Chain A
Amino acid sequence: MEPIPAPAIDLISLAPVLVLSVFGMMVLVTDLFIGKDKSILVFISLTGLLMAAVSSLAKYNLPVFSFNGAYVVDHLSVFFTFIFCISSALAILVSVDFNKREGIKVGEYYSLILFCTVGMVLLASSTDMIMIFLGIEVVSISLYILAGIQRKSTKSNEAALKYFLLGAFATGFLLYGMTLIYGSTGSTKLTIIANVISENKILSEPLMLMGVVLLIIGFGFKVAAVPFHMWAPDVYQGAPTPVTAFMAVGPKAATLAAFYRVMSETMPDLSYSWEILLCVVSVLSMFIGNLGAIMQSNIKRLLAFSSVAHVGYLIIAIIAKNSLSSSSLMFYMLSYAFMVFGTFGIVILLGRKGEENLELENYSGLAYKHPVIALTMTIFLLSLGGLPPLAGFVAKFFIFSAALKEGYIILVIIAVLNSAISFYYYLKVIVFMYMKEPVKEFHISLTPMTLLVIAISAFGTIQLGIFPDPIIALAQAN
């Protein structure tokens, strides 16, 4: 009997995943031996993330395939790995003071974030649907636990349960879709599927299309695109704020990267079937996200709806499927990471034990008591809306250029009108901060780690807005 040949594995290219897994376990083990003070865990996890980021930059000839072509390290995955490391590091930093304040004393918290990052890297690097599924599961399961990590809070429990049930449901859709695609193409490998499609050798077209639709539903759930977004506001509101910020950036970026690979890179020839669907999803996400956000009086729900709208913009890049798509996705997600962590950092700063101050009214008159905080918040919000000279503007410019290059004029016009709508609710927060009298005293303890996150985010938002050239060049490098 012939031995089954072992697939080629390039360990260097796998380094980020390995490093993160090892450090994740190290955090778990160390947690057993230390007492109440968890700061050493923070240090270990940050070191892990830093090493992962550095190892992802190791120079070799891209792309490198491993596991028999199921895992690829290419330009897209390297850049996204970088984004994941940054966003996870920011998430950990922003959690330090929050966890101390809210009494979250479990060491698993940090290892879960690391494991989740492993899943994200897998997701962004997978070229096989099984691997995509694996990545999504690793990410989701870590997030289910993280959302419910505040065990004593009913809100947090509700969020975790809701997220788990709907997430499991979505996973079902995703898996079903993958099965159908496997059935009609005979492979789970994206490259082979792409060949089958381009050579027109699909076994059963209806099954294939059904599979694509189910995939879109599954991915749609995971990135919270309309009409699969219903879980987002509740989960965003209920989960601990640092986890919300984390959820809004890393996992979303990873899923979008996989979504991009499956749709734009694998099935461009089938685009007649999925393009219109994605257009509908994108337009609905923008409208429902932005109009929904207008109605909100809770800042976390407002940001949840705004993130739904941002997914709408991001899907435009997937629809455009040209050379600018992937680089615009990368740039957008990087700047989005800064904006989101900045905003949530300030949301965390405003709260205190037992009193989270999440209503917009709590922001009244902030500008007169804490002008610098109000100004940075203004910067983040305007950047989310897409106002120059901030990162959000350049990111939108990037995505719109990608779409206009392919002639999607109507879609882009809808997107810009939505940006205008979004200004309404971002301005609403600014109105509260600058144009209303304070209703009560602010008790802001300027905790150093949270301030550090805000400072990094503000720097990133402005830097990517005024001098975006190095990052754009990096994103467009291939």
Chain B
Amino acid sequence: MFLTFLTFLPLVGAILLTLLPRDEEGAIKQTALAFAVADFVLSIFLWTNFDSTTHEMQFEYSVPWISSWGISYHVGLDGISLLLYIMTTFLTMISIIASWGITKNIREYMMSFLALSTGMLGVFISLDMFLFYFFWEFQLVPMYIIIGVWGGPRRVYAAVKFFLYTAVGSLVMLVAIIWIYIAIEEQTGVATTDIIFITENLELPLAPQKWLFLAFFLAFAIKVPMFPFHTWLPDAHVEAPTAGSVILAGVLLKMGTYGFLRFNLPLFPHASYEFMPMIAWLSIIGIVYGALVSLVQEDLKKLVAYSSVSHLGFVMIGIFALNHYGIQGALIQNINHGISTGALFLLVGMIYDRRHTREIKEFGGLAKVMPKYTVCFMIIALSSIGLPGMNGFVGEFLILLGVFQNSGMWAACATSGVIFAACYILWMFQRVMFQKLDNPKNENLPDMNTRELITVVPLIILVFWIGIYPKPFLKTFDASVEHLLIKVNPDNFRPGNPGSSHSTHAKLIKIEDMARLNQQQNGIKP
């Protein structure tokens, strides 16, 4: 019930805002902020009360909803969703502070943000496929409005593209959801869309697993976005208002990676295993391609947007390493990307507010006029590269460790992305902050004010916290990752030894090993 309260609190705020008169801008902003802060502060209690020794769902709440179809309102959190949930409330709060300067239709803006927050939170807590889809589509509308109304010059194009891309993917996922709904009824006699029940009871042969995997894959890969489906992202990011970009990068993209962990892996373990190479290569292409394209961008925001493609490639390859390190790294990298890229978008937004341009060549030598800004930017840039001692390092290291267990080749290719990241970030940093201050328009730029510092400093604290002492974060998803790995362990679906292993160790069996094992069992000599 507490979880439901937290999830719908922002929506209540949005509804209350309609009661305020349109021109009371101060009151509107304060009310919105109050709701966001309350939501964040209360969500901290989830973390403190969270039992990280179990993979079971916690704070669970379930009531029948559409009982004729066996659909219930079932929510809960486990290690995989807990931190994403808190990050959502956190970034919503930061975004609302960062939007203080919005003047156009501030009430509608704040309402959209709060409604968006409820939609996103709902996605992370849903334990019913119908409910999940419900929230998954619900958050589209406020984001569409945010990009389309408060965005840049090509905002309508970007907003419609964002909406349609996501809609196509999710509608295909809807077909898969209905398919599973019918299959589970045929198999168990229970008509339900409950994720936990389905995860435990669905038994599918490889062929339908593959199709269903691809249907879910399309929805989540568009959201992440993985390489061939990423083209909506730069448009959406460039046109969205600053806070919209922060939420987009920080939370919306994570819904895709979360979907993989909640649906694809546990529901279709065999197919996940089969598609591992494909996804690994797509991720590698995404990592390298995203980095190379970032290198040549002249628009700061586009650069950060493409770097997201690269970073999310890391997360994806980590998930599909299908071992403990990889998934743990991916989960922490999810958080890291939200922090670092969110902060980068905030910082880019700040100079855009001052200069109304984001062209790199318009800047240079900002370090002299904006020292505080430069320091913040430096820290965030380094964290984005993955400097040891900062958050990015922890995530990338764990991911590469996991990937290396599968294939040295993949790890080597993925690592190149880290090097490219250093190139595009540092080169951009050099061109913007150092060099000569030759553009007279830049001479009198004011440094960061208190409000701007308030938005960035918490993120910087997190950068170091996760970088130096990641244990509190890693600990939360340990048990859940272990449980997930039992599910995707090839021992459970390989022919010959059904369900024999409850090994919690995440080592994957190589194809050759399997062949040898089969030969031994069947008495054929190699």
Are A and B physically bound partners?
A: yes
A interface list, Cβ under 8 A from B:
367-368, 371, 378, 382, 387-389, 393-394, 397, 400-401, 404-405, 409, 412-413, 416-417, 419-420, 423-424, 427, 431, 434-435, 468-469, 472-473, 476
- Report yes or no: B156 in contact with A469, Cβ–Cβ below 8 A: no
Per CB-CB distance, the 3 closest pairs between chain A and chain B, nearest first, are A416-B171, A388-B134, A420-B168
Closest to A372 in B: B18
Question: When chains A and B are docked, how far (Å) is the Cα of A5 from the Cα of B410?
Answer: 86
- Report yes or no: B148 in contact with A434, Cβ–Cβ below 8 A: yes
Add 12 more A-B contacts to A378-B141, A401-B181 (CB < 8 A): A387-B141, A388-B138, A397-B130, A397-B174, A397-B178, A401-B182, A404-B179, A417-B171, A423-B163, A434-B145, A469-B66, A472-B69
8 Å CB interface, B131-154 against A: 133-134, 137-138, 140-141, 144-145, 148-149
Q: Contacts of A473 on B, CB cut-off 8 Å?
A: 67-68
Question: When chains A and B are docked, how far (Å) is the Cα of A419 from the Cα of B182?
Answer: 21
- Report yes or no: A435 in contact with B175, Cβ–Cβ below 8 A: no
- Report yes or no: A409 in contact with B179, Cβ–Cβ below 8 A: yes
Q: How many whole Å from B106's CB to the nearest CB in chain A?
A: 13
Q: Contacts of B133 on A, CB cut-off 8 Å?
A: 388
Question: When chains A and B are docked, how far (Å) is the Cα of A371 from the Cα of B171?
Answer: 29
Query: Counting CB contacts under 8 A, is B155 at the interface?
Result: yes
- Report yes or no: A371 in contact with B108, Cβ–Cβ below 8 A: yes
B interface list, Cβ under 8 A from A:
65-69, 105, 108, 130, 133-134, 137-138, 140-141, 144-145, 148-149, 155-156, 159-160, 163-164, 167-168, 171-172, 174-175, 178-179, 181-182
Q: Contacts of A424 on B, CB cut-off 8 Å?
A: 160, 164
- Report yes or no: A468 in contact with B66, Cβ–Cβ below 8 A: yes
Q: Contacts of B164 on A, CB cut-off 8 Å?
A: 420, 423-424, 427
Q: How many whole Å from B212's CB to the nearest CB in chain A?
A: 11
Question: When chains A and B are docked, how far (Å) is the Cα of A401 from the Cα of B174?
Answer: 10
- Report yes or no: B175 in contact with A416, Cβ–Cβ below 8 A: yes
- Report yes or no: A469 in contact with B67, Cβ–Cβ below 8 A: yes
- Report yes or no: B155 in contact with A413, Cβ–Cβ below 8 A: no
Q: Contacts of A476 on B, CB cut-off 8 Å?
A: 68
Q: How many whole Å from A287's CB to the nearest CB in chain B?
A: 15
- Report yes or no: B179 in contact with A420, Cβ–Cβ below 8 A: no
- Report yes or no: B182 in contact with A404, Cβ–Cβ below 8 A: yes
Can you name 10 A-B pairs with beta carbons within 8 Å? Answer: A387-B137, A388-B137, A397-B130, A400-B175, A401-B181, A420-B168, A427-B144, A469-B66, A469-B68, A472-B69
Q: How many whole Å from B40's CB to the nearest CB in chain A?
A: 25
- Report yes or no: A427 in contact with B171, Cβ–Cβ below 8 A: no
Q: How many whole Å from B231's CB to the nearest CB in chain A?
A: 16
Q: Contacts of B130 on A, CB cut-off 8 Å?
A: 397
- Report yes or no: B175 in contact with A413, Cβ–Cβ below 8 A: yes
Q: Contacts of B149 on A, CB cut-off 8 Å?
A: 434-435
Closest to B157 in A: A431
Q: How many whole Å from A374's CB to the nearest CB in chain B?
A: 10
Question: When chains A and B are docked, how far (Å) is the Cα of A400 from the Cα of B105?
Answer: 39
Question: When chains A and B are docked, how far (Å) is the Cα of A246 from the Cα of B105?
Answer: 37
Question: When chains A and B are docked, how far (Å) is the Cα of A405 from the Cα of B184?
Answer: 12
Q: How many whole Å from B141's CB to the nearest CB in chain A?
A: 7
- Report yes or no: B67 in contact with A423, Cβ–Cβ below 8 A: no
Question: When chains A and B are docked, how far (Å) is the Cα of A420 from the Cα of B218?
Answer: 14
Q: How many whole Å from A403's CB to the nearest CB in chain B?
A: 9
Q: Contacts of A431 on B, CB cut-off 8 Å?
A: 148, 156, 159-160
- Report yes or no: B174 in contact with A382, Cβ–Cβ below 8 A: no
Question: When chains A and B are docked, how far (Å) is the Cα of A412 from the Cα of B211?
Answer: 14
Question: When chains A and B are docked, how far (Å) is the Cα of A29 from the Cα of B159?
Answer: 56
Q: Give the residue among A413, A423, A473, A476 with the most B Cβ atoms within 10 A.
A: A423
Q: Return the contact of A427 from the options B155, B163, B168, B172 (Cβ within 8 A).
A: B163
- Report yes or no: B168 in contact with A417, Cβ–Cβ below 8 A: yes
Q: Contacts of A468 on B, CB cut-off 8 Å?
A: 66
Question: When chains A and B are docked, how far (Å) is the Cα of A269 from the Cα of B149?
Answer: 54
- Report yes or no: A389 in contact with B178, Cβ–Cβ below 8 A: no
Q: How many whole Å from A394's CB to the nearest CB in chain B?
A: 8
How many pairs of A and B residues are in contact by the CB < 8 Å rule? 82
Q: Give the residue among A388, A389, A401, A469 with the most B Cβ atoms within 10 A.
A: A388
A371-B108, A416-B171, A420-B171 known; A387-B140 Cβ under 8 A: yes
Q: How many whole Å from A398's CB to the nearest CB in chain B?
A: 9
Question: When chains A and B are docked, how far (Å) is the Cα of A110 from the Cα of B463?
Answer: 70
- Report yes or no: B182 in contact with A420, Cβ–Cβ below 8 A: no
Question: When chains A and B are docked, how far (Å) is the Cα of A434 from the Cα of B144?
Answer: 11
Question: When chains A and B are docked, how far (Å) is the Cα of A387 from the Cα of B163?
Answer: 11
Q: Contacts of A427 on B, CB cut-off 8 Å?
A: 144, 160, 163-164
Q: Contacts of A417 on B, CB cut-off 8 Å?
A: 168, 171-172
Q: Contacts of B179 on A, CB cut-off 8 Å?
A: 404, 409
Q: Contacts of A388 on B, CB cut-off 8 Å?
A: 133-134, 137-138
Q: Contacts of B108 on A, CB cut-off 8 Å?
A: 367, 371
Q: Contacts of B66 on A, CB cut-off 8 Å?
A: 394, 468-469, 472
Q: Contacts of A434 on B, CB cut-off 8 Å?
A: 145, 148-149
Question: When chains A and B are docked, how far (Å) is the Cα of A468 from the Cα of B65?
Answer: 9
Closest to B160 in A: A427
Q: Contacts of A423 on B, CB cut-off 8 Å?
A: 163-164, 167
- Report yes or no: B178 in contact with A404, Cβ–Cβ below 8 A: yes
Question: When chains A and B are docked, how far (Å) is the Cα of A412 from the Cα of B138?
Answer: 22
Q: Give the residue among A400, A413, A420, A473 with the most B Cβ atoms within 10 A.
A: A420
Closest to B145 in A: A434
Q: How many whole Å from B71's CB to the nearest CB in chain A?
A: 9
Q: How many whole Å from B308's CB to the nearest CB in chain A?
A: 24
Closest to A470 in B: B68
A400-B174, A427-B163 known; A389-B138 Cβ under 8 A: yes
Question: When chains A and B are docked, how far (Å) is the Cα of A419 from the Cα of B173?
Answer: 13
Question: When chains A and B are docked, how far (Å) is the Cα of A468 from the Cα of B66?
Answer: 7
Q: How many whole Å from B444's CB to the nearest CB in chain A?
A: 33
Question: When chains A and B are docked, how far (Å) is the Cα of A367 from the Cα of B107?
Answer: 13
Question: When chains A and B are docked, how far (Å) is the Cα of A472 from the Cα of B160?
Answer: 33
Closest to A389 in B: B134
Q: Contacts of B167 on A, CB cut-off 8 Å?
A: 419-420, 423
Closest to B22 in A: A371
Q: How many whole Å from B439's CB to the nearest CB in chain A?
A: 33
Q: Contacts of B65 on A, CB cut-off 8 Å?
A: 469
- Report yes or no: B105 in contact with A368, Cβ–Cβ below 8 A: yes
Q: How many whole Å from B513's CB to the nearest CB in chain A?
A: 37
Question: When chains A and B are docked, how far (Å) is the Cα of A468 from the Cα of B130?
Answer: 13
Q: How many whole Å from A358's CB to the nearest CB in chain B?
A: 22
Closest to A471 in B: B68
Closest to A465 in B: B134
Q: Contacts of A382 on B, CB cut-off 8 Å?
A: 141
Q: How many whole Å from B135's CB to the nearest CB in chain A?
A: 8
Q: Return the contact of B156 from the options A393, A400, A409, A435 (Cβ within 8 A).
A: A435
Question: When chains A and B are docked, how far (Å) is the Cα of A173 from the Cα of B106?
Answer: 59
- Report yes or no: A435 in contact with B155, Cβ–Cβ below 8 A: yes
- Report yes or no: B175 in contact with A409, Cβ–Cβ below 8 A: yes
Question: When chains A and B are docked, how far (Å) is the Cα of A207 from the Cα of B138?
Answer: 51
Q: Contacts of B144 on A, CB cut-off 8 Å?
A: 427
Q: How many whole Å from A148's CB to the nearest CB in chain B?
A: 38
Q: Contacts of B148 on A, CB cut-off 8 Å?
A: 431, 434-435
Question: When chains A and B are docked, how far (Å) is the Cα of A389 from the Cα of B140?
Answer: 12
Q: How many whole Å from B26's CB to the nearest CB in chain A?
A: 20
Q: Contacts of A419 on B, CB cut-off 8 Å?
A: 167, 171
Closest to B67 in A: A469
Question: When chains A and B are docked, how far (Å) is the Cα of A404 from the Cα of B184?
Answer: 13
Q: How many whole Å from B320's CB to the nearest CB in chain A?
A: 25
Closest to A406 in B: B182
Q: How many whole Å from A385's CB to the nearest CB in chain B?
A: 8
Q: Return the contact of B175 from the options A367, A394, A404 (Cβ within 8 A).
A: A404
Closest to B186 in A: A405
Question: When chains A and B are docked, how far (Å) is the Cα of A434 from the Cα of B150?
Answer: 10
Closest to A403 in B: B178
Question: When chains A and B are docked, how far (Å) is the Cα of A294 from the Cα of B155?
Answer: 20
Q: How many whole Å from A300's CB to the nearest CB in chain B?
A: 23
Q: How many whole Å from A435's CB to the nearest CB in chain B?
A: 5
Q: Give the residue among B65, B68, B134 with the most A Cβ atoms within 10 A.
A: B68
Question: When chains A and B are docked, how far (Å) is the Cα of A420 from the Cα of B168?
Answer: 5
